[in-house]
Amino acid sequence: MDQPTTPPADADARRAVRPVICYPTETLPEAPMALYAAARRTLRTLGEVLVPPRDAACFRVPAGHFFRIHSVEGPQVGDLNLWNAADLSERFYSGKTRALHGTHLTTGDRLWSAFPHLRPMATITHDTLGWYGFDGFGGSVHDVIGTRCDPYTHCLLSDGGQYHHCCHSNLTRALAAETGLPLHEAEAHVHDVLNVFMCTGFTRDTGQYFMKASPVRPGDYLEFFAEIDLLGALSACPGGDCSSEHSSDTAACHPLLVEVFSPDPEMLSGWQPPARSGYDRSHGA
Ligand SMILES: [Zn+2]
């Protein structure tokens, strides 16, 4: 076996180099939060979808409208996918959203779409868990660091176990039912999620992904402004509040409510959906 590597003489000096923020948020186009704040004071309910526990449901939100994900009945985590309603290839890009806004999202942060589009699909306009911040373990809520619980990882880690109500499968079934796509075609459109209400972080000593009981309580909600016409899918994770385990039927699970709202159209006169990325896509060829 190889010996452990020997630290160089200047190891401490190298570790002491100060970090630099990769993407300073000051360089991002500013979200018109004052406009959204005024518009959200005029909201009228357009419709709602109840997501059953250990299952998922789809919903549609026209550009310029708002939607909320509500905790009802009990603490519950939700796994959110978003697509351009007219083009499933434009979908939420959790990795770039994480690079731009950090590991956990809250009011003012945006959900960005995949290349070559790279534009805001939605902006978070209210977060009743905004008070949580980061706890003593480095945990926070609404992460873009987890992926989604899925039956492949479960099979890998449980010696071949088969479980069919992981968020990945729930989202796949819901998208297939909504679009009429065959199951395996729908599955290819399911992507890494925004973990709504989930409390997660990385352990300070080993850098491992952790979860802990969500601080969400019935009445809490996360609110979004739809920047483009959206098709959404939300799974009520089989992990429930994710205090112990997922990928099984043991955790207490609760439904989640998605509500869609329309603002007074006067409030958004002059507002337009964001343009797609201006990169010319020639890639130097
Ligand atoms: Zn899940």
CA of 245 to the centre of ligand 1 (A): 10
Tokens, residue 20:
């630099």
pLDDT digits (tens, 9 = 90+) for 15-47: 999 999 888 878 888 899 999 999 999 999 999
pTM of the prediction? 0.94
Tokens, residue 246:
């997922």
**H or E segment at 67?**
strand 66-71
Say what the pLDDT of residue 29 is: 87
pLDDT digits (tens, 9 = 90+) for 133-143: 999 999 999 99
List phi, psi (to 5°) of 33: -65, -30
CA of 53 to the centre of ligand 1 (A): 11
CA of 39 to the centre of ligand 1 (A): 33
Look-up of token digits 């609760």: 254
pLDDT digits (tens, 9 = 90+) for 160-187: 999 999 999 999 999 999 999 999 999 9
Mean pLDDT of the 271-276 span? 95
Say what the pLDDT of residue 190 is: 98
Q: What count of other Cβ atoms lies within 10 Å of the Cβ of residue 115?
A: 12
CA of 12 to the centre of ligand 1 (A): 40
Q: In what order do the strands lie in the sheet with 44-51?
A: 44-51, 256-262, 66-71, 221-226, 120-127, 110-112
**In which band, very low, low, confident or very high, does the pLDDT at 3 lie, cut at 50, 70 and 90?**
confident
CA of 249 to the centre of ligand 1 (A): 12
Q: How wide is the angle at C-alpha 108 spanned by C-alphas 106 and 111, nearest 5°? A: 75
Q: Which of 48, 266, 237 is CA-nearest to residue 149?
A: 237
Mean pLDDT of the 49-61 span? 97
Say what the pLDDT of residue 165 is: 95
pLDDT digits (tens, 9 = 90+) for 119-135: 999 999 999 999 999 99
Mean pLDDT of the 270-278 span? 94
Say what the pLDDT of residue 110 is: 97
Q: What mean pLDDT is reported for the chain?
A: 95
Say what the pLDDT of residue 196 is: 98
**pLDDT over threshold 90, residue 250:** no
How much helix, strand and coil, in percent to the nearest 5, is found in the chain? 20, 30, 50
CA of 282 to the centre of ligand 1 (A): 38
Mean pLDDT of the 48-75 span? 97
Mean pLDDT of the 268-283 span? 94
CA of 190 to the centre of ligand 1 (A): 13
CA of 19 to the centre of ligand 1 (A): 33
pLDDT digits (tens, 9 = 90+) for 199-232: 999 998 999 999 999 999 999 999 999 999 999 9
CA of 33 to the centre of ligand 1 (A): 31
Say what the pLDDT of residue 1 is: 61
